């Protein structure tokens, strides 16, 4: 929901500020351009377990997924930081060089200017959101704008633009 999108958006902003190039990806928010897909799958085994259990049970809601997350958590293993690191490096294999190159490339990239303004983001999603509903909760509209402009706009800037749209009559606030 809304709070997840706020967090994804903030993370995406920070990563862009750090010089990473991001690509939108349905279901997970975004990916880091150049990061090996094989590794994302390799290190997402926990998520795969949760989703497989949910599918077996025929559930999709966030509350059910959180319950499955708690139920299926494996016991902690006793490993040193060094042992963990060695295991992660072994699993990453030759893709570790690709990751290092993606990280190295960030040091030469200047801070990117926003690709989409808050006003553009809000206008872009208004048509989509109001296509099927005549009234929409503010947080739903904001969530869609955050998804659309992932990492390019801040929540406060979207709130300012939304207020402006309401003040000028472009949008009407119920209640």
Place of tokens 């930081």: 81
Determine the pLDDT at residue 137.
85
Determine the pLDDT at residue 109.
62
Measure Cα distances from 18 to 98, 118, 128 in Å.
18, 21, 32
8, 29 contact by CB (below 8 A):
yes
Determine the pLDDT at residue 36.
93
144, 125 contact by CB (below 8 A):
yes
Determine the pLDDT at residue 111.
59
Mean pLDDT by 10 residues, the chain (175 residues): 82 86 80 91 87 91 86 85 91 92 79 75 83 82 86 88 88 75
DSSP string over 117-156: -HHHHHHHHHHHHTTT-S---HHHHHHHHHHHTTTTS-HH
Determine the pLDDT at residue 87.
92
């Amino acid at each position: 929901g809304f709070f997840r999108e706020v967090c994804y958006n903030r993370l995406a902003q920070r990563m862009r500020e750090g010089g990473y190039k991001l690509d939108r990806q349905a279901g997970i928010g975004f990916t880091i351009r150049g990061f090996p897909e094989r590794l994302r799958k390799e290190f997402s085994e926990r998520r795969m377990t949760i989703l497989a259990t949910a599918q077996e049970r025929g559930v999709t809601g966030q509350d059910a997924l959180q319950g499955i997350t708690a139920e299926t958590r494996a016991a902690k293993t006793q490993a040193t930081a060094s042992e963990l690191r060695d295991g992660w490096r072994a699993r990453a294999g030759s893709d570790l060089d690709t990751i290092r190159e993606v990280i190295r490339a960030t040091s030469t990239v200047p801070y990117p200017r926003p690709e989409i303004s808050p006003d553009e983001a809000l206008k872009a999603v208004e048509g989509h959101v109001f296509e099927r509903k005549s009234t929409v909760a503010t947080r739903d509209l904001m969530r869609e704008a955050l998804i659309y402009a992932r990492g390019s706009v801040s929540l406060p800037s979207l709130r300012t633009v939304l207020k402006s749209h309401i003040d000028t009559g472009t949008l009407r606030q119920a209640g």
